[in-house]
Structure 1
């Protein structure tokens, strides 16, 4: 069996129940531009940066806006999002994820967060989970965002391992596409059809246990244990 030496996590929708918050703030941007915004569209953009998300929404509208107006939309979106994040508590972690993280930590595996959110350290602190993670990728140092694999390759580097020694967990389409361009073992979590492209698929974080993940890994000749 080949040993997994690190586990990399996306944050929104995997660790934190913040997808609904993204929907709220993104819908406000869409409302300002006079266009409809759906939950499906929201999920398709999970993993994109704040700037790229606003670009997508603007591109779908018929409005022509200046660079200054674009930057104002980005800033308003972030302020609104931060105000919602300040209300987060440990109860806003995804169901079952705390136990999953604790068990992986007990195995001595370095855990890394690869999130497009610049607010990741704050969110993890609010959820009382930050101390479990060896590191968080600083997205401001990256040249390319998801679906480019750079963020996940950087996470492996921070863990001190090679990509083929990592499990990477995602719920968003751009993020999963990024993982699938690497040699990492891809885990998709959620009900969306595209997640079935991952090496292992769990319909929710509640059923994504360490023992269930180990069974999937064993089928491909990998293990979480020594």
Structure 2
């Protein structure tokens, strides 16, 4: 078998919380008098909270201090976490859970590698903590994707060399991070990518037949 472990991005791969991010950032954009739509929201995928705020501020006429930016980011996160409380186990599809079980039965180690500082809370809401051998999120790293730190740290937690790990992503920044870390990458969905991934999936359920 080519891989010993699979590292999954969380949002957009294992579940979808885009609607919650959109609503929370929409309020922030309104406060700073910046436009906000789905095109801008797509640019925020896979990057950190503060980097996302800077993207939104590109359209704002305001000049904000570092303290004001931190306040806006914290208020956005408070709104987002309140919305996340609506998540239930049904927000992780049965096909996703079955895919994870298939990979584990085959002997692969599984991890989550997410820039989100809310990954643990999301997994709790999904009742999915027990499906993974390790979780590395935004609380354990200092550099967000496309820096490979989150994936390298996840591999370290698993005790598996980076070159034997496959990353599953849905965002360009995640693909770049995987490659920068020396890992193969499977990408789900139709996001515009800077280069071709090793595997392109229509849905996660296709993964076992490709790599086992």
Give the TM-score, by structure 1 length.
0.87
Q: State the match for 2:208 in structure 1.
A: 210
Aligned pairs for 1:52-201 (under 5 A) are 52-94=51-93, 96-194=95-193, 197-201=196-200
Asked if 2 retains the 8 angstrom alpha-carbon contact of 1:17 and 1:94, the reply is no
Change (3 A) 1:35 1:24: same
Query: Following TM superposition, by how much is the alpha carbon of 1:26 offset from its aligned partner in structure 2, in angstroms?
Result: 1.5
Quick one: distance in 2 between partners of 1:20 and 1:171?
Answer: 16
Q: Are 1:54 and 1:74, in contact at CA under 8 Å, matched by a contact in 2? A: yes
Task: Name the counterpart of 1:218.
Answer: none
1:33 aligns with 2:50: no
Task: Flag the structure with more relative contact order, 1 or 2, with Cα contacts below 8 A and sequence separation at least 6.
Answer: 1
Superposed displacement of residue 104, structure 1: 1.1
Q: Secondary structure at the match of 2:58?
A: helix
Give secondary structure in 2 for the equivalent of 1:167: strand
Moved more, 58-67 or 130-139: 58-67
Give the number of equivalent residue pairs: 212
Paired residues of 2:172 and 2:192 also in contact (CA < 8 A):
no
1:119 & 1:45 partners in 2: Cα distance? 16
Measured in 1, the distance between the counterparts of 2:131 and 2:171 equals: 23
Asked whether the equivalents of residues 4 and 109 of structure 2 are also in contact (C-alpha less than 8 Å), the reply is: yes
Gaps of 5+ in 2: none
Equivalent residue number for residue 219 of structure 1: none
Q: CA deviation at 1:3?
A: 3.0
Change (3 A) 1:195 1:17: farther
Moved over 3 A (4+): none
User: Are the equivalent residues in 2 in contact too, given 1:148–1:178 (CA < 8 A)?
Assistant: yes
The CA distance in 1 between the partners of 2:202 and 2:37, in whole Å, is 21
Measured on the aligned residues, the alpha-carbon RMSD in Å equals: 1.8
Matched residue, 1:9: 8
Shift of 1:60: 3.2
Partner of 1:208, secondary structure, is: helix
CA distance in 2 between counterparts of 1:204 and 1:134 reads: 22
Cα displacement (A) at 1:38? 2.3
Assess if the C-alpha contact under 8 Å between 1:44 and 1:173 holds in 2. no
